Amino acid sequence: MPKESTGLSLDGQGKPLWLSLELTYRCPLKCSWCNNPLDFDKYTEHELSTEEWKRVLAEARELGALQLGFTGGEPLQRPDLEELVAYADELGFYTNLITSGVGLNEARMAALKQAGLKQVQLSLQATRAALTDQLVGTRAHARKLEAARLIKAHGFPMVLNMPVFRHNIDLIDEMVAWAAELGVEYIEFANIQYYNWALLNRDELMPTREQIRRAEAVIQRWRERLDGAMTIYFVIPDYFEDRPKACMNGWGAIHLTIAPDGVAMPCQEARVIPGLEFHSVRERPLAWIWHDSPLFRKYRGLDWLPEPCRSCAEKEKDFGGCRCQAFLLTGDAGNTDPACSRSPQHVLVQAAVTQAVSPQRFRKPLIKRSASGVCTTFMEE
């Protein structure tokens, strides 16, 4: 692996292999676990234009980016999505649409296929209409099922993503059954991570250890039954692990996110950390931002690691964990991720798990994603 002049080790030979374009934060859904910023609405008037996004694509390709995710918000809210997909395909990207499915109709599906789109990742919260609609704050279930049908009808390899939390984790069995009948190639059960809107709702969304164990057993049975016919991923929340996740495979290692206003980030949550200097592609070349900006070099590699990470034999596996989570839970992004049992602040995670499942806890309504941040609803458990 090549080394930077500072001696820092980078994966991907120093290239941003995965490019995530957050085309817009606009979205018809109001999910209580949304990873968009709490003040997402203030970016609406500052979205990059079509030509600016094309310049980003060209610069990223020159940097060596290979895989591309069009995301948001809801990327289908951009009328130029098909044009951007076509341009990315022309540049040689493997293009992936990450969508709620709301707004995906026959005409747009055909146009995206014609533009060269390679894969679609569809989110579905439940197989039950009433629950899906309640969770996302609008009548979306039928449109999601129609989107799934269109994706398969047009021959796309399909990744079905089910964000997992207390209210739907016990429905994993019927979700796999539904996906297998449809012919889904990949299904990811992603226990949500607690940032932004999900952090506001953590006590209400966090599942119990028992629920996670039952879900793991269900998935293992399906893996044996399907015998490779469908790939099933189950991402356990790091609050329930002894070690933190290798967030983005390391800060500034292989992942590059561009926000709707053109700000380039090592991950989509980086703006939660105060004191960092962010640069927009409107102001600086993407190559400079990736290679030389103080933001991307801040926590890149291993030399910055604190103790106990610096002395840990597993530091090249998890890179100290997530910088955003370290800040949100400890107030200092330079700390060891408290999800790690070796962190001096691990008690914060343990306390959060205990609080979330406490029978004495006062039950609160979910805070729905909204411009004001005050839309709430009670959920039946």
State pLDDT tens for residues 104-124. Answer: 999 999 999 999 999 999 999
Among 34, 26, 3, smallest CA distance to 201 is for 34
Residue 257: alpha-carbon gap to chain centroid? 11
Which pLDDT band, with edges at 50, 70 and 90, does 359 fall under?
confident
| Residue 54, pLDDT above cutoff 50 | yes
The CATH number of 18-240 is: 3.20.20.70
| Residue 13, pLDDT above cutoff 80 | no
Binding residues: 27, 31, 34
Q: 326 is written with which tokens?
A: 């370290």
- Give per-residue burial for 142-157: e unless 16+ CB within 10 Å, then b: ebbbebbebbbeeebe
Which pLDDT band, with edges at 50, 70 and 90, does 2 fall under?
very low
Taking CA atoms, 201 is separated from 40, 58, 86, 187, 368, in Å, by: 17, 39, 38, 25, 9
> What is the predicted pLDDT for the residue at 377?
62
Handedness of CA 280, 285, 291, 292 (dihedral sign): negative
Which pLDDT band, with edges at 50, 70 and 90, does 223 fall under?
very high
Q: 105 is written with which tokens?
A: 């109709």
Environment class of 183 (CB within 10 Å of its CB; exposed 0-12, middle 13-18, buried 19+): exposed
- Strand, coil or helix: what is 120? strand
Binding residues for [4Fe-4S] cluster: 27, 31, 34
For 170-235, strand residue ranges (E) read: 186-191, 231-235
Mean per-residue pLDDT over the chain, rounded: 93
- Strand, coil or helix: what is 293? coil
How far, in Å, CA of 6 to CA of 262, rounded? 28
Which pLDDT band, with edges at 50, 70 and 90, does 378 fall under?
low
| Residue 339, pLDDT above cutoff 80 | yes
Which pLDDT band, with edges at 50, 70 and 90, does 9 fall under?
very low
Which pLDDT band, with edges at 50, 70 and 90, does 5 fall under?
very low
